[in-house]
Amino acid sequence: MSVAPAAPPGVWVEARPRGVRLLLSRIATFCLVELQKLRHDRSELVTRTIQPVLWLVIFGETFNRIRAIPTGSVPYMDYLAPGIIAQSALFMAIFYGIQIIWERDAGILTKLLVTPTPRTALVAGKAFAAGLRTIAQAIVVVVVALLLGVHLTWNPLKLLGVLVIVVMGAAFFSCLSVTIAGLVLRRERLMGIGQAITMPLFFASNALYPVDLMPGWLRALSHANPLTYEVAALRGLLIGQPTTYWLDFTALGVAAVAGIGMAAALLGRLAR
Amino acid sequence: MTGQFGVAAVAIAGLSHRFGEHVAVDDLDLTVERGECFGLLGPNGAGKTTTLRVLNTQYPPQTGAVRVFGLDVRTQAMAVRRLLGYVPQQLSIEGALTGRENVAWFARLFDVPRRERAARVAEVLASVDLTDAADRMASTYSGGMVRRLELAQALVNRPALLVLDEPTVGLDPVARDAVWERVADMRRRYQMTVLLTTHYMQEADALCDRVALMHQGRLRVSGPPAELKAALGPDATLEDVFRHHTGESLLPAEKAGKGALRDVRSTRRTARRLG
């Protein structure tokens, strides 16, 4: 029995990007689709900015006055603003798996899985698209923080670094969400687990208070929490607080890559 | 099996696929020649969709070999996907995008070159009569329009093989006729091979050069519809052919069990999505 491949007509053969080019092409495609969706419906952007603004205005202003949390020479509002940027990105990304489940229910995921897109590229594309959504939120939080008198950097390179960090954080947490979606398979269960882990992730990080104030066990947890590295890098870039950038970027990079790998491995379960 | 294994559009040899204890496809041999329209007929649960999902690389084959234009779906999945246009049974478009954006999305995923992309998207939208509605949100489309938009999505990479899973299920007769017309038109225009599944005999009669009847995961008989019917008598229908070879009816309304339940669920989901 012959197994020689029969070439289809040449006019049907398109350019075939591979490796990194294919990955970047798919990330760009999913980011573009996310932008198109945002352009058609901006209401989500508006509603999602309410919570971080409340954290800054109510929680931040109150704790700024009572000086309950020792942050050295840094006003508490300045200390809190980067934490709230990371928090708003976390809250958005941790429920991103719901979109994948919706796409599965709507039959879209099946069609995406049979395009020439490796699963890792599909998940990476989705992860960076989630990052794009969080950028819009981060910009709103920065503007509100500036209006409240928070002293943030104007250095364009550092602001670019902020966007990179926010996207990396969102990539990890959205992949964590897709991973959970791949395990539980149902929207309701994902909602429940998302609700259950969001606050522990938030409180076991340096978003609201310095790690030094935590009991030993919580400090250990916070060192394993990618949110801590995200907040540390954001604080370093935005308000100049000392941090080890290589460690923050490496921790977030490794987390994002591991997240993409985990989510891609479980994506097939969703499509069955 | 013909002697043209290497050049056939689809060559399936000894394919079996199980879900736990349930045998969905049982030792299936099938060849679809280039340029023909081939119909897989059978009631819900016959194994048609599973066969298509192995063919489109969604499920790796558990037993047997499946080749598309000579490419192995197991080891050359990416190359196989580039040759396929796939329309699943369920209506599946992104309602938060316009029709044009839906098609352009898939043009990018199939690496249609940037300089050709806009023209290609416009061409396939025109070929399914959606030019006027192209810039409307897809969530406002009727069921028939959604199906035609899906055809446009599946055609934007100029596939060598168009795979349609129950393309007209849940559509009213007018929308069904429109889809049949488009599929026939696409074949003429692009000279591609079409593989479709259906449980509508009329659909198979209207569109297919050859059909294969599947029942409980096995292939019962295959051939041109006219020949299969003629073998039973002058007034025989494909329904008679199916009943003759399986002892059961092809009509979905007479079937019960998992497949029927899945059909109801799918129809309800579609109705909900389209409001």
Predicted pLDDT of residue A15: 60
Residue A64 has pLDDT above 80, yes or no: no
Alpha carbon distance B180, B187 (integer Å): 11
Tokens 């991103």 belong to which residue?
A96
Residue A13 has pLDDT above 60, yes or no: no
pLDDT tens digit string along B83-107? 999 998 888 899 999 999 999 999 9
Query: Is residue B41 classed as helix, strand or coil in its secondary structure?
Result: strand
Q: Let me know if A136 is exposed, middle or buried by CB neighbors in 10 A (0-12, 13-18, 19+).
A: middle
Contacts of B71 in chain A (CB under 8 A): 5
Distance from CA of B148 to the nearest CA of A (A): 15
Most trustworthy range by pLDDT among A14-18, A187-191, A245-249, B40-44: A245-249
Of the residues A14, A24, A43, A44, the best mutation for testing chain B's interface (the one with the most B CB atoms within 10 Å of its CB) is: A14
Per the CB < 8 Å rule, is B109 touching A5? Answer: no
Distance from CA of B235 to the nearest CA of A (A): 40
* Amino acid at the residue B97: L
Q: How confident is the model at residue A242 (pLDDT cuts 50, 70, 90)?
A: confident
Residue B5 has pLDDT above 50, yes or no: no
Distances (CA, A) of B173 to B178, B200, B202, B203, B273: 9, 12, 11, 11, 20
Residue A10 has pLDDT above 60, yes or no: no
Residue A246 has pLDDT above 60, yes or no: yes
Average pLDDT over residues A55-75: 80
Q: Nearest CB to A116: which of B5, B13, B78? A: B78
> Quick one: DSSP state of residue B48?
H
> CB of A132 within 8 A of CB of A173?
no
Q: How confident is the model at residue B266 (pLDDT cuts 50, 70, 90)?
A: low
What mean pLDDT value characterizes chain A? Answer: 86
Distance from CA of B240 to the nearest CA of A (A): 33
Predicted pLDDT of residue B254: 43
Alpha carbon distance A207, B107 (integer Å): 42
> Of all helices (H) and strands (E), which one includes residue B118?
helix B114-127
**With an 8 Å Cβ cutoff, is B141 touching chain A?**
no
Using N-to-C axis directions, what is the helix angle for B99-109 and A19-40, rounded to 10°?
Answer: 170
Express as a percent the part of chain A with pLDDT over 90: 43
Taking CA–CA distances from B191, the nearest residue in chain A reads A9
The mean-pLDDT minimum among A256-260, B22-26, B91-95, B269-273 falls in B269-273
Alpha carbon distance A234, A81 (integer Å): 9
Express as a percent the part of chain A with pLDDT over 70: 94
Taking CA–CA distances from A267, the nearest residue in chain B reads B58
Taking CA–CA distances from A99, the nearest residue in chain B reads B94
Per the CB < 8 Å rule, is A40 touching B7? Answer: no
Predicted pLDDT of residue B118: 95
Cross-strand bridge partners of residue B195: B38, B163
Most trustworthy range by pLDDT among A13-27, A66-80, B7-21: B7-21
Q: Let me know if B173 is exposed, middle or buried by CB neighbors in 10 A (0-12, 13-18, 19+).
A: exposed
Express as a percent the part of chain B with pLDDT over 70: 88
Predicted pLDDT of residue B173: 82
> CB of A99 within 8 A of CB of A253?
no
User: ipTM of the assembly?
Assistant: 0.84
**With an 8 Å Cβ cutoff, is B275 touching chain A?**
no
Residue A184 has pLDDT above 80, yes or no: yes
